[in-house]
Amino acid sequence: MKKFKIAVLKGDGIGPEIVDATLRVLEKVAELYGVEFSFQEGLIGGIAIDKTGDPLPDETLELCKSSDAVLLGAVGGPKWDDLPTHKRPEKGLLRIRKELDLFANLRPAKVWEPLIDSSPLKPEVVKGTDMLVVRELTGDVYYGEPRGIFEENGKRVGVNTMKYSEDEIRRVVRKAFEIARKRRKKLTSVDKSNVLEVSGLWKEIVEEEKKNFPDVELEHLYVDNCAMQIVRRPSTFDVIVTGNIFGDILSDEAGVVVGSLGMLPSASVGEKYALYEPVHGSAPDIAGKGIANPIATILSASMMLKYSFSMDDAADLLERAVEEVLRKGYRTPDIYSEGCKKVGTKEMTDKIIETLEELKG
């Protein structure tokens, strides 16, 4: 029997609830597909600060490095909001990405037919939207040096540095081309090369790599224009590749266009490791109430099945189970609309598990 070791980092806020829900789904997948998953828990984020003083303790990092994949809930909350940037729960997330060298963050945003009305855009505009943002995750202004708040002529200045090396750009761009090749063969590269040198280099590398992918159609968009086109013509995008900060912003935008942040999964992958987490945050306002939408985390687990364990059939079946449950009208409060059946985290998870069993037959 195939065995996979999964590091489970529940984190803060709704993290524990949505991760527990997802582990139940994974147990069912294991049973249906004859594999074995072992789950080992580690601390990250605010809870790790409270227990150890460090948002990413060494043991957690070691656990992740010795596992086949990492499943993460969410980090952060008002309790830690007053800490300085370098001590906040988010720092745990930024460090784990860097330490595991997870340079490509894949954020699919597709419209779920039964949820098409929850998009703020007209149904005819969003219909058929199925895009994937490939966001570079270990470089850019997030990590560039120098950074800090300094004094200049008796006044404070804040400094961050947007920086990308040729190799950092090339590896994520290549990954995006490879993914586009397996999808609808269209890649949009997003930059700000009318203003920024770093974007000029980005664009050059994309053009160089294009030579290896003649079958993939390529478009370049400036980030401001891209932000606009995502709301004007979302269904025309296939794969979007961009740097860390632009990708952070555009992936939230893509998320809302397709209806709900509560539905968006992500995979962060490098050469050696991979981490799966929902795009939404820790939602402290609803934590502990049993009403959080577990679907983004469950779909992140589906990406894990596909990308880390090559269990493509199981991944597809899980997605179909989610779609089927939505079609039957079950909704957590964040995606609720009139005439549907409102359910909490547990019931939504039960329905997905039941449907998974039915579909597997």
x-or-dash string of contact with ligand IPM, 208-247, rule CB under 6 A: ----------------------------------------
Q: Which of 224, 285, 312, 313 is catalytic?
A: 224
Give the separation between CA 266 and CA 162, rounded to whole angstroms.
24
327: nearest Cα among 358, 361, 303: 358
106 binds ligand IPM (CB under 6 A): no
Active site residue 224: yes
Active site residue 312: no
248 binds ligand IPM (CB under 6 A): yes
Q: Which residue in the set 20, 41, 90, 354 belongs to the binding site for ligand IPM (CB under 6 A)? A: 90
CA angle (150, 154, 159) in 5-degree steps: 25
Residue type at 341 in one-letter notation: K
What is the nearest approach in angstroms of Mg ion to the Cβ of residue 281? 8
Q: Among ligand IPM, Mg ion, none, what does residue 90 contact (CB within 5–8 Å per kind)?
A: ligand IPM
Restricted to residues 221-260, the positions that interact with Mg ion (CB under 5 A) are: 248
Nearer to ligand IPM by C-beta: 188 or 268?
268
Nearer to ligand IPM by C-beta: 160 or 235?
160
Give DSSP secondary structure letters for 248-269.
HHHHHHHHHHTS-GGG-EEEEE
Active site residue 276: no
Stretch that binds ligand IPM, among 55-63, 90-98, 125-133, 256-264 (CB under 6 A): 90-98
Active site residue 248: yes
Shortest-Cβ-distance residue relative to Mg ion: 248
**Count of other CB atoms within 10 angstroms of residue 16:** 20
Give the separation between CA 340 and CA 129, rounded to whole angstroms.
23
93 binds ligand IPM (CB under 6 A): yes
347: nearest Cα among 312, 310, 308, 295: 295
136 binds Mg ion (CB under 5 A): no
**CB crowding 154-170: b at 16 or more within 10 Å, else e:** eeeeeeeebebeeebbe
Q: Which of 252, 307, 350, 360 is catalytic?
A: 252
Give the separation between CA 248 and CA 245, rounded to whole angstroms.
5
Nearer to Mg ion by C-beta: 57 or 243?
243
149: nearest Cα among 198, 235, 84: 84
What is the nearest approach in angstroms of ligand IPM to the Cβ of residue 46? 12
Q: Could you list the active site residues?
A: 142, 192, 224, 248, 252
